[in-house]
């Protein structure tokens, strides 16, 4: 059985407590690896190591830091298939998706920030009396990087790459639910010989390990991606210590389909934006609003196509949905469906485990893609994030109605609009209270653009220039000449 270890100061260490958490294969329900249950002492070791490494790493030239990131990316490319299979086993996502999205984007994260740091620009101004001001952007210090279970390597590297590129050192706390590819990444860093202490990994539960990390006085910056409730706890923890913090939180995103949309394309993409990664993507469009003229046509075709999606073994060809990540999460998603039924929601398809699973997958956490109709916008399912393969559909008459419903949740992460009318697209995009709007597409990523949410979906922006800003501190130097 795979036994994961912490990676601290260039060494693979058992946790101080010597206790481990079970890590389950969601396809079979079996424990297949052990994850350290680290405590505050492990965190102290990791932060101390990062602090020490910061002295040299922060003064290492940008080109050299970029070279290290490329070395890591090269190794990830070399081990691409190994990483993809590990992500699929740990999370339950289809293997083709691990390859196409998770591991590919993890590599891109390293390559992008390796290049970006070489093109860093700083401002300067001159004053009437000839004085010169210039801005220095310097690394912040030790970064605590905390990531969730849905896109484990992809989201962790989205933080590690800019943190190291800008000269910070890091302590990573991956989700205890999916720790395997982070451990493999630690091994890659060790193999390429990244200087000791530049990037440490401490595994364990959020409540103990994560909290000890966030609260450690030696941590200067916190980059967190996860649920809104956890985000609120972290925001409270860091507030009195004035740590630089970025919070990428949950979403309850609207997908608005106007009557003039290219319906075939809208349906094809809506299947993905609803159920890709079992709907366990913060950007999934879980509330679908369709203009009334095309509602019935959309509904019939959407339901028919979703019924045909293959649910099962994530390593098998043609599988669109694997299992949900854990038993606890499956139970939570099922309880949301029950709640919707109580609120008069009509389940058009799904809502149960597939019946034709082979014996070896019979204990896996599978759920059919689920579509629910006839829920009012004040029902709990329309308001709260499910983070599973469950969407609601609803018809609207006027654009302003769709915008109002889209904005009627505590969240504000993203939205999609489907229309051929470019003027309408602009107007509606401007009215949506979210951090990202996609028009006639979904999940397209340009690393140069800011990413983040408003309202309960988070604080701050990362991506491109925004990541460089977040992971550096600005200093103004004024010289009287």
| 175 in contact with ligand NAP (CB under 6 A) | yes
Instruction: Out of 282, 324, 334, 375, name the contact with ligand NAP by CB under 6 A.
Output: 282
Residue 443 gets the label, from left (phi > 0), alpha (psi -120 to 50) or beta, of left
Q: What's the min distance (Å) between Cβ of 435 and ligand NAP?
A: 8
Q: What's the min distance (Å) between Cβ of 78 and ligand NAP?
A: 27
| 225 in contact with ligand NAP (CB under 6 A) | yes
| 383 in contact with ligand NAP (CB under 6 A) | no
Close Cβ partners of 77 (under 8 Å, ≥ 6 residues apart): 107
| 141 in contact with ligand NAP (CB under 6 A) | no
| 285 in contact with ligand NAP (CB under 6 A) | no
Q: What's the min distance (Å) between Cβ of 369 and ligand NAP?
A: 18
Question: How far apart (Å, rounded) are the C-alpha atoms in residues 376 and 340?
Answer: 10
Choose between 220 and 313: whose C-beta lies nearer to ligand NAP. 220
Question: How far apart (Å, rounded) are the C-alpha atoms in residues 385 and 281?
Answer: 11
- Please identify, among the stretches 140-148, 264-272, 294-302, 472-480, the one whose residues bind ligand NAP according to the rule CB under 6 A: 140-148
| 29 in contact with ligand NAP (CB under 6 A) | no
Instruction: Out of 7, 20, 149, 201, name the contact with ligand NAP by CB under 6 A.
Output: 149
Q: What's the min distance (Å) between Cβ of 413 and ligand NAP?
A: 6
Instruction: Out of 173, 216, 394, 461, name the contact with ligand NAP by CB under 6 A.
Output: 173
Instruction: Out of 278, 385, 392, 447, name the contact with ligand NAP by CB under 6 A.
Output: 385
Q: What are phi and psi of 167, to 5 degrees?
A: 95, 10
Choose between 211 and 409: whose C-beta lies nearer to ligand NAP. 211
Matching residue, tokens 């059985």: 1
Q: What's the min distance (Å) between Cβ of 226 and ligand NAP?
A: 3
Question: How far apart (Å, rounded) are the C-alpha atoms in residues 180 and 201?
Answer: 12
Choose between 312 and 452: whose C-beta lies nearer to ligand NAP. 452
| 150 in contact with ligand NAP (CB under 6 A) | yes
Q: Site for ligand NAP (CB under 6 A): how many residues?
A: 32
Instruction: Out of 98, 157, 169, 230, name the contact with ligand NAP by CB under 6 A.
Output: 230
Gap between the terminal Cα atoms of the chain: 67
| 180 in contact with ligand NAP (CB under 6 A) | no
- Ranked by CB distance to ligand NAP, the top (closest) residue is 206
Q: What is the footprint of ligand NAP within residues 185-224 (CB under 6 A)? A: 205-207, 210-211, 214
Structure tokens at 295: 């509602």
Whole-angstrom CA distances from 377 to 252, 384, 407 are 12, 11, 11
- 458 bridge partner residues: 248
Q: Which helix (H) or strand (E) holds 414?
A: strand 414-418
- Please identify, among the stretches 93-101, 229-237, 269-277, 356-364, the one whose residues bind ligand NAP according to the rule CB under 6 A: 229-237
| 234 in contact with ligand NAP (CB under 6 A) | yes
- Cβ atoms of 313 and 361 closer than 8 Å: yes
- Cβ atoms of 100 and 87 closer than 8 Å: no
| 333 in contact with ligand NAP (CB under 6 A) | no
Query: Which of the residues are catalytic?
Result: 248, 282
Count of CB atoms situated within 10 Å of the CB of 104:
16
Q: How many helices (H) and strands (E) does the chain have?
A: 16, 23
Question: How far apart (Å, rounded) are the C-alpha atoms in residues 229 and 143?
Answer: 21
- Please identify, among the stretches 168-176, 188-196, 257-265, 332-340, the one whose residues bind ligand NAP according to the rule CB under 6 A: 168-176
* Positions of E strands within 175-266: 199-201, 221-225, 244-248, 254-257
Q: Which helix (H) or strand (E) holds 427?
A: helix 422-431
Question: How far apart (Å, rounded) are the C-alpha atoms in residues 420 and 440?
Answer: 8
Q: What's the min distance (Å) between Cβ of 333 and ligand NAP?
A: 12
Q: What are phi and psi of 379, to 5 degrees?
A: -70, 155
| 250 in contact with ligand NAP (CB under 6 A) | yes
Q: Which helix (H) or strand (E) holds 235?
A: helix 228-239
Choose between 263 and 432: whose C-beta lies nearer to ligand NAP. 432
Point out which residues bind ligand NAP (CB under 6 A): 146-150, 155, 173, 175-177, 205-207, 210-211, 214, 225-227, 230, 233-234, 248-251, 282, 385, 387, 413, 453, 458
């Amino acid at each position: 059985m795979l036994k994961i270890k912490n990676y601290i100061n260039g060494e693979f260490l058992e946790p101080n407590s010597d206790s481990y958490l079970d890590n389950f294969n969601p396809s079979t329900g079996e424990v297949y690896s052990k994850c350290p249950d680290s405590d505050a002492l492990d965190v102290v070791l990791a932060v101390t190591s990062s602090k020490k490494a910061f002295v040299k790493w922060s003064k290492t030239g940008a080109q050299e830091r970029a070279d290290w990131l490329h070395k890591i990316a090269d190794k990830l490319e070399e081990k691409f298939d190994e990483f993809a299979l590990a992500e699929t086993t740990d999370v339950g996502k289809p293997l083709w998706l691990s390859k196409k999205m998770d591991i590919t984007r993890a590599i891109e994260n390293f390559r992008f920030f390796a290049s970006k740091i070489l093109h860093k620009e700083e401002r300067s101004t001159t004053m009437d009396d000839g004085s010169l001001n210039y801005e220095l952007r310097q690394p912040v210090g030790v970064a605590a990087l905390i990531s969730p279970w849905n896109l484990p390597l992809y989201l962790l590297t989205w933080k590690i790459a800019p943190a190291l590129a800008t000269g910070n050192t890091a302590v990573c706390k991956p989700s205890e639910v999916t720790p395997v590819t982070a451990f493999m990444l630690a091994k890659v860093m060790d193999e390429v010989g990244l200087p000791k202490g530049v990037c440490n990994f401490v595994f364990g539960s959020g409540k103990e390990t994560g909290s000890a990390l966030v609260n450690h006085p030696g941590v200067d910056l916190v980059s967190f991606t996860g649920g809104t409730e956890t985000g609120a706890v972290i925001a409270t923890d860091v507030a009195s210590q004035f740590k630089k913090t970025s919070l990428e939180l949950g979403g309850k995103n609207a997908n608005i389909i106007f009557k003039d949309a290219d319906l075939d394309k809208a349906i094809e993409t809506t299947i993905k934006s609803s159920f890709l990664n079992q709907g366990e993507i913060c950007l999934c469009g879980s509330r679908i609003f369709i203009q009334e003229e095309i509602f019935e046509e959309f509904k019939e075709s959407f339901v028919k196509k979703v019924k045909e999606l293959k649910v099962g073994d994530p390593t098998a060809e043609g599988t669109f949905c694997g299992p949900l990540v854990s038993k606890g999460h499956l139970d939570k998603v099922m309880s949301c469906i029950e709640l919707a039924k109580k609120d008069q929601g009509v389940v058009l398809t799904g809502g149960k485990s597939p019946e034709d699973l082979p014996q070896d997958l019979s204990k896996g956490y599978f759920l059919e893609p689920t579509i629910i109709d006839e829920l009012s916008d004040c029902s709990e399912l329309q308001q709260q994030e499910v983070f599973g393969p469950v969407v609601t559909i609803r018809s609207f008459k006027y654009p302003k109605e769709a915008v109002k419903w889209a904005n009627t949740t505590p969240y504000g992460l993203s939205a999609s609009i489907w229309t051929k009318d470019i003027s309408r697209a602009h107007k509606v995009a401007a009215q949506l209270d979210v951090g990202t709007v996609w028009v006639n597409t979904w999940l397209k990523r340009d690393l140069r653009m800011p990413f983040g949410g408003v309202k309960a979906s988070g604080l701050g922006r990362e991506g491109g220039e925004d990541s460089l800003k977040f992971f550096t501190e600005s200093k103004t130097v004024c010289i009287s000449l």
